[in-house]
Every structure is written in C-alpha cells, then in structure tokens.
Amino acid sequence: MISAYTGTQVRAAEEPLLAAGQGDVLMRRAAHGLAGAVVNELKSRGSRLNGSRVVVLAGKGNNGGDGLFAGAFLAGRGMRTTAVLTGDAAHPAGLAAFERAGGRVQRLSEEALPGLSDEAARADVVIDAVLGTGAKGGLRGSAADLVEALAGAHRRGLVVACDLPSGVDADTGEATEPVLPADLTVTFGGAKNGLLADPGADFAGRVVVVPIGIEEHLPEPSLRRLEDADLARLLPHPARRAQKYSRGVLGVVAGSEDYPGAAVLACRGALAAGVGMVRYLGPPSVADLVRRSCPEVVCSTGTVSENRVQAWLVGSGMGPHDHEQLTRARDAIASDLPVVADAGALPALPAMLAPHVVLTPHAGELASLFHRLGHGEDREAVEAGTLAAVRQAAVRTGATVLLKGATTLVAAPWGTTFSQADGTPWLATAGSGDVLAGVIGALLAQAGPDVGRFSEVGIKGDSRWAAIAALGAALHGRAGRAASEAASGGPIAAGGIADALPETWGKVSMLSNYEAWKRNSHSQPLR
Ligand SMILES: NC(=O)C1=CN([C@@H]2O[C@H](COP(=O)(O)OP(=O)(O)OC[C@H]3O[C@@H](n4cnc5c(N)ncnc54)[C@H](OP(=O)(O)O)[C@@H]3O)[C@@H](O)[C@H]2O)[C@@H](O)CC1
Ligand SMILES: Nc1ncnc2c1ncn2[C@@H]1O[C@H](COP(=O)(O)OP(=O)(O)O)[C@@H](O)[C@H]1O
Ligand SMILES: [K+]
C-alpha cells in the first residue's frame, strides 16, 4: 500500500528531528536520494553521466536547499551543473556546498530569462526545486515566466521534481499554473497527497519516495493506494465447499429502452468479477437483451424485497422517467444491503445515505449532485480539486463516494480516502463505467461481510466499503490496460474490459497463492 500525507503531516513528523538538531541530516538524506534517483534514471535510459548538463531551478527555501545539495552530489559525479536562483536569497549551506563542488550559479532576472530558459531547455536534466511543502500559491514573477517558457519549449531532457512539482499543492493536488510537468518526482519521507490526486498527478510523472528517517513519526496516512500485494490479499477466494449463493448474489437494476447495453455491460462486469450469481430486474425488452447476451444471468421480475441478494447495483443506463426502475433503485438503497449507485440513480438519491452505499459519479455527475445539494461547484471546479470534491461529497451525502477519472478517488464520510491510477486513457470509452459498476457490485456481494480480511491490512470497519470500491477501480483499470496491451497498446471497447477481467484477477491471485505457498512450505508434510 502506498501511503500519502499532507505537507502539514510531513512537517509535523520532521519537528522532533529538527528540534534535535537533525535538520541538516534530513536535508542531506533527501538530496542524496534525489541525486541517486537522477543517476538511476539516466543510467536506465542509457545516458552517460560524465559531462552531461544539469540545471537546478532553486527557490529560496528548503526545497531549493535540497536541489542545491543534490546539484553538489551530481557535480561530484562529473556532471556540468548550473543553479538558477529564482528568489532574492538561497539556502546558505546548500549554496555553499554547490559552489564548493564546482557548480555554476546564475541569478534569475528579467534580462537573464531568455538565456537561462534556453540553457534549461537544452539541459540533459532539469531539477525543479523552486517550491515544496512550504509554498503559498503558485510560481510568481520571473520563476513563473521561466517555467512557462520551459513547459512550452521543445526539450529532450529529463525533468525531475524535488518533493513535488512547484505550483502543485501538497495537500490537495490543486495546481496553479504554470507548472513544469515532471518525468519523475522524488518525494521525501512519504508521498504527498497532491501527487496522487488530479490535477497534481498530471504533473508528477513517476513518483519515487525517499525515506529520510521521519517515517516512525508519521501519523495515519491521509490517502492510500492499493498495490499488487494488497489486491492479492483483499480479493475474495471461494471456499472449498462454496456454492453459488454463499459466493454472493448481485441484484442489477440497470438499463432502459434508450440504453439497454448498459445493463448488459454491468452484468458482464459483475460475472467477470467472481460473483456467484447475477439477478437482473428491469424492462422486458432489456431483460431479453441481457438473456441473449449473458445467458448466465437470471432475469427476475417483481420488487426489490421479493429478490434475495447480497448486494445491489442500481442506475447504470437508467433514464429519469423510468418510474418502476427508480422505485427499485430507491428500495435497494433503503434495504440496508451494500449498494453501488451509478449514473441514472444519482439524481434519485435520498438526502442522507450510509457508507455501505457507494456512489460512482464522474466529474460532471458529481457537479450535478452538488448542485442538487444546494452547493455551486461546477464540473471545472470539481476537476480543479478532485480530492476536496470527493471528500466533500462523502461528507454531504454520508455515502462512500468514488470519483471516476484518470486518477479515481474514493472517500468515506470520515475522510478515509483511496487513490487508484491503474488504467489507461483508452478506458475513457462509452460503457466503461457500466463495467466498473458491475465489478464493484460483484465485490460488494462477495467481500462486504468479510470485515476481518480488511482489518488485517489496517482498514477498519466501515472503511472497507471505500477499500472495496478502490479494489474494483484497481481491477477495472488493470483489466483495461491488459486489454489494450493485448492489442499492442491500441484502443479497447467496454466489453473488452470485462473480457480481460478474469485473467487480470488470476494474475493478481497468483501472487497471493505464491505467498500462501511460501508460508505453508515450512509446515509439516502430510502423512
Ligand atoms: N524541514 C526540513 O528540515 C526538511 C525539508 N525538506 C524540504 O523542504 C521543503 C519545504 O521547505 P520550506 O518550508 O522552506 O518551503 P519551500 O517549499 O522551500 O518554499 C517556501 C519558500 O519559498 C517562498 N515562497 C512561498 N510561496 C512562494 C511562491 N508562491 N512563489 C515564490 N516564493 C514562494 C517562501 O518565502 P516567503 O514568500 O514566505 O518570503 C519560502 O522562503 C520540502 O518540500 C522539502 O523539499 C527536506 O529537505 C527534508 C528536510
Ligand atoms: N483518461 C483516463 N485514464 C484512465 N481511466 C479513465 C480515463 N478517463 C476515464 N477513465 C475511466 O473510465 C471509466 C469511465 O466511466 P464513465 O465516465 O462512467 O463512462 P461511461 O458513462 O461511458 O460508461 C471510469 O472507470 C474512469 O475512471
Ligand atoms: K519542487
């Protein structure tokens, strides 16, 4: 699991060490990690170190200090380093170390700007060390002009952000442009929220966390990301004597005359995500299509209370005037069973929900939800601050909210938040969200009661609903990527995501089988 923190949390964790006079040590560890990451990246690209050109954009605070110390390390490896000081001052010890190591120092001014931006554009490596966790707002003055010129210039070099891309808010992921997009962000002590939430994540590139010795002082993470090993531990596995009902039944209330395909795709997503059975409830013409497309699905009639299931999926492809389906959706939400509420169900929600109800809006649907709740955020505002928006939505509705996008965020009403970015932009295709709803529904039906499996990895009680939704997003994203890779990186259609799910699941489970085998290989052999 990747843990991320706010800037304030990280700075608080640094406090005891700073009080003990360890500030210098922390900074040298950070700078050493940054320089090491630059060297590794250049080597992995087959570039030589000796003689290559490095430009460090150094602000006046400690972030600039990290950059200057890292520049000194790199100069020591034979690289030609220039520091561009963007402020009216520079970290004194960092600057002294940089100059001792033979680095060249330039001060940024309006007159020097064209020459320096040209030099940075031609460099093999640019290190962005202007602003870190202490920044207020974005870049200003000549520093902003330099980054703007550089972001628009034709460059072939590597851009490495020190701690975070300057202009990205460490706590929220909001970005005040111009921001220099990095290929690599080397972040210290723990990942920052802003690197794992859009739009900040757009600028971060690959994120590498460098331990600096503050880790034991860090609190509960503010944001988490599930990785391979977490998926392997959290995905349900059928017991030896499982039968279809014990494995979980998902009731699906989806599709309409206008969008019958959504019901089919939701069912296909659910079937491919390990559920024991899918029961479909909906208009006869849609049920007909579902039967023909997925003969495994049992089409039922009647009300929600007449159909026994372990979880409900409601809303995908549902219209605003289909009163019978909307009644079913409302009944499902009132049933106390776990529910994933998608698309057409979102406008029909009661004012207050519970965390076992998982809402799955995209940014536009979340803006409409806010509008109905009497708050004015539009789609642009949601997209400019996804983390704040998803958390606010969870607080205001009382539900678990999953905000879809390149980075998918899931928040519980008390703030527990997950961030998954497992997919590919090819997932932005019609019907993709219906498959995701099916996957989450299937996981709710199977894993909902399994509190123990989640608490083993530190996810307590009702926070598991957010973890289950994050698990669904991770599987869906990976399946989309696998489907595209099978097409040599080409496009995918939504049905292809469902088709790739079982193998994606199998590959992740192999990891957990291997871990179980490793544990059991020390036990007594059978006699
Ligand atoms: N603590 C430690 O020991 C360790 C810290 N570490 C590192 O320190 C970083 C945090 O350092 P920090 O607190 O010095 O803040 P930082 O991000 O460099 O920026 C603040 C400076 O910039 C200025 N400034 C602010 N906003 C501005 C703007 N919009 N545009 C222009 N200028 C602006 C502001 O000046 P002011 O405007 O207040 O006069 C202030 O001088 C952290 O990200 C990590 O890299 C690691 O080495 C580990 C050990
Ligand atoms: N640029 C992107 N990169 C990765 N995943 C994306 C991107 N855009 C959308 N997605 C994912 O694709 C799915 C799209 O869902 P949705 O917007 O509901 O589509 P639809 O309504 O057409 O089914 C979501 O899972 C979302 O996270
Ligand atoms: K930075």
Ligand 2 neighbourhood includes 364 CB (under 6 angstroms): no
Ligand 1 proximal residues by C-beta, below 6 Å: 14, 18, 23, 26-27, 30, 59-64, 66, 131-140, 162-163, 188, 212
Which ligand approaches the C-alpha of residue 23 most closely?
1
CA–CA dist 350, 117 (Å, integer): 55
pLDDT at 356 over 90: yes
pLDDT tens track for 108-153 = 999 999 999 999 999 999 999 999 999 989 999 999 999 999 988 8
Helices (H), 255-378: 260-271, 284-293, 323-333, 363-372
255 φψ region: left (φ > 0), alpha (ψ -120 to 50), beta (else) = left
Model confidence band, residue 521 (pLDDT cutoffs 50, 70, 90):
low
The domain segmentation of the chain, as residue ranges, is 2-224, 245-361+422-509
The pTM assigned to this predicted structure is 0.95
* Residue 329 is labelled as binding a ligand: no
Alpha carbon of 404 to ligand 2 centroid (Å): 6
pLDDT at 233 over 70: yes
pLDDT of residue 450: 85
- Which residues hold their Cβ within 5 A of ligand 3, which is an ion? 128, 162, 166
Ligand 2 neighbourhood includes 430 CB (under 6 angstroms): yes
Return all residues near 120 (Cβ < 8 A) that are at least 6 apart.
Answer: 55, 57, 84, 126, 146, 150
pLDDT at 524 over 60: no
* Residue 137 is labelled as binding a ligand: yes
**Residue among 256, 318, 340, 362 whose CB has most ligand 2 atoms within 8 A, to mutate:** 362
Report yes or no: 196 and 227 within 8 Å, Cβ to Cβ. Answer: no
* Distance set, CA 433 to CA 21, 150, 266, 299, 343 (Å): 52, 37, 8, 22, 9
Ligand 2 neighbourhood includes 404 CB (under 6 angstroms): yes
The CATH number of the structural domain formed by 245-361+422-509 is 3.40.1190.20
Nearest-CA residue for atom 15 of ligand 2: 433
Which ligand 1 atom minimizes the distance to the CA of 17?
3
The third-level CATH classification (topology) of the domain covering 2-224 is Rossmann fold (3.40.50)
Ligand 2 neighbourhood includes 367 CB (under 6 angstroms): no
Ligand 2 neighbourhood includes 102 CB (under 6 angstroms): no
Alpha carbon of 407 to ligand 2 centroid (Å): 10
End-to-end CA distance of the chain: 39
Alpha carbon of 432 to ligand 2 centroid (Å): 6
pLDDT of residue 517: 59
Average pLDDT score, the chain: 94
pLDDT tens track for 269-295 = 999 999 999 999 999 999 999 999 999
Alpha carbon of 25 to ligand 3 centroid (Å): 19
Question: Using only C-alpha atoms, what is the Rg of the chain?
Answer: 26
